[in-house]
């Protein structure tokens, strides 16, 4: 299985704010076209077989696993 990291920019026309924009993007809801996401880059990595115990499937290990997987950059 592979995981893909997308880097995007968002034009915040309605001054929604960082945290709320992240929530909107993650939930794929764009009410009234208030944000306009654009993909800047795409990277994929093999993560092996998926399971309920995979580090990306756990909130306490997902961020660190992704950072390590993609070279210690912010994810």
Asked if 48 and 69 count as a contact pair (C-beta separation under 8 A), the reply is no
CA neighbor of 74 nearest in space, from 55, 66, 40, 10? 66
For the chain, the C-alpha Rg in angstroms (whole number) is: 14
Average pLDDT for 1-23 = 79
What is the pLDDT confidence band of residue 73, given thresholds at 50, 70 and 90? low
Could you give the residue ranges of the DSSP H alpha helices within the chain? 18-27, 62-69
What is the pLDDT confidence band of residue 59, given thresholds at 50, 70 and 90? very high
Average pLDDT over the chain, rounded to whole? 81
Per domain, the residue ranges of the chain are 2-69
Over 90: is that where the pLDDT of 61 sits? yes
Cβ-based neighbour number of residue 57 at 10 Å: 12
The answer to whether the predicted template modeling score (pTM) of the entire model surpasses 0.95 is no
What is the pLDDT confidence band of residue 19, given thresholds at 50, 70 and 90? confident
Q: How far is CA 57 from the centre of its chain?
A: 13
């Amino acid at each position: 299985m592979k995981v893909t990291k997308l880097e995007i920019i968002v034009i915040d026309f309605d001054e929604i704010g960082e945290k709320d924009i992240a929530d909107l993007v993650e939930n794929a809801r764009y009410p009234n076209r208030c944000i306009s996401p654009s993909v800047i880059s795409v990277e994929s990595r093999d993560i092996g077989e998926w399971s309920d115990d995979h580090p990306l499937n756990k909130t306490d290990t997902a961020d660190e696993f992704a950072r390590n997987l993609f070279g210690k950059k912010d994810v």
